[in-house]
Structure 1
Amino acid sequence: MKATRNTSERLILDDTPWFIGIAPARLILAFAGASLDAASTGGETLWFGLGFAAFCLFVRRVQVILDRPGGSIVIRRQSVFGSSQVEHLLADLSRAEVESATSRSEGRTRTLFSPVLVLDGGLSAGRHPVVEAYTNGGGPHRLAEAINARLPASAAEAQTYGR
């Protein structure tokens, strides 16, 4: 996830995991292709269908908009199958944090991270994940830092933005 717009009024963060969608699609195509090649001839339409289906399953666009003039946080999720939008009050946002999950496999320990928004007030109080996947990169930490940098630092500034 990266900041596509970072102005004093608006912070827009986007995540479109192209690699995550393309890599499994290619793997599925390779295995399916080897099987289909042996079983049939002229399966180009089927190849396209399998690739498109795999791509659709794995690619989901997420956009987070922190809008100071509007006093809102908008989280948009889009996939080929549809879209959803959740809106929260910016005044309810206390901070962004990074959650971690640890997995152990074959004697190795691996820690993955995911950014969450922590809302202390309103009907939406609680922890709200920004993206549904965990990653081992530094992206979630950079995202949390970018969001926290946008929050009012002082009580006077907080009053200005309705907190």
Structure 2
Amino acid sequence: MKIARNTPTQLILTDIPWFYGVLFAFNTVIFIALGLILTLAGGRFMIYGLVLIIGGGAFGFWTFHKFVRRVLVIFDRATQTLEIREKSIFGYEAIEHPLTELSHAEVESTLPKGSFLAPNQHRPVLVLDQGMSAGRHPIVTRYTKGSDTARLVDVINDWLTADKVDSDSQSA
């Protein structure tokens, strides 16, 4: 996840999973190409080719839809809103919350399944403490390794506290 804009009035975060998009698209093309080769070979290989075309193509499109999602998170002081936009190949979804409901951001960590030697994986989570959507809301569904998530959470929390410092100094 990248910081697209960080101004006193607006913080915009973007996540475009190019690596996964290329990987799943290439995987789908490989399955369909192998299926076409088997289908063109004819005979009993034709059925296997059709299964590869249909099954591999469907699985490729499903994984692409499930894991390749462009996420845009907009924190806007001017409109006092927090908007999370998510776009996949099959649709677009936007969720909007009042900025006053957002308490802070946290790092959510997990240990990969079946591997006690692998490092923890992390993802950023927004904590809403008020309203009907109160609770923890992950910004992205996948976990990543490294310290980028902690830096992103620090930027979000610094941006949120800057608003509180500004409003306290104006009221004094």
TM-score by length of 2: 0.76
1:6 and 1:32, CA in 2 relative to 1: closer, same or farther beyond 3 A? same
Q: Deviations over 1:2-28 (max 9, x none)?
A: 111111110010111011121132234
Secondary structure of the residue aligned to 1:121 is coil
Counterpart of 1:157 in structure 2 is: 166
**Separation in structure 1 between the aligned mates of residue 164 and residue 10 of structure 2, nearest angstrom:** 20
Query: Does residue 145 of the first structure (1) align with residue 131 of the second (2)?
Result: no
Pairing 1:4-153 to 2, within 5 Å after superposition: 4-40=4-40, 50=57, 53=61, 55-105=64-114, 108-152=117-161
1:27 and 1:108, CA in 2 relative to 1: closer, same or farther beyond 3 A? farther
- The answer to which structure has the higher helix fraction is 2
- Size of the aligned set, in residue pairs, is 157
1:72 and 1:159, CA in 2 relative to 1: closer, same or farther beyond 3 A? farther
8 A contact 2:31–2:57 mirrored in 1: no
- The answer to which structure has the higher strand fraction is 1
Task: Report percent identity of matched pairs.
Answer: 42
1:18 and 1:134, CA in 2 relative to 1: closer, same or farther beyond 3 A? same
TM-score by length of 1: 0.80
1:92 and 1:157, CA in 2 relative to 1: closer, same or farther beyond 3 A? farther
Counterpart of 1:88, as a letter, is H
Q: Report the aligned-residue RMSD.
A: 3.0
Give the superposition deviation at 1:62.
0.5
**Separation in structure 1 between the aligned mates of residue 164 and residue 32 of structure 2, nearest angstrom:** 60
Uncovered stretches (5+) of structure 1, i.e. residues with no partner: none
**Separation in structure 1 between the aligned mates of residue 113 and residue 66 of structure 2, nearest angstrom:** 26
**Structure 1 range deviating more: 72-81 or 86-95:** 86-95
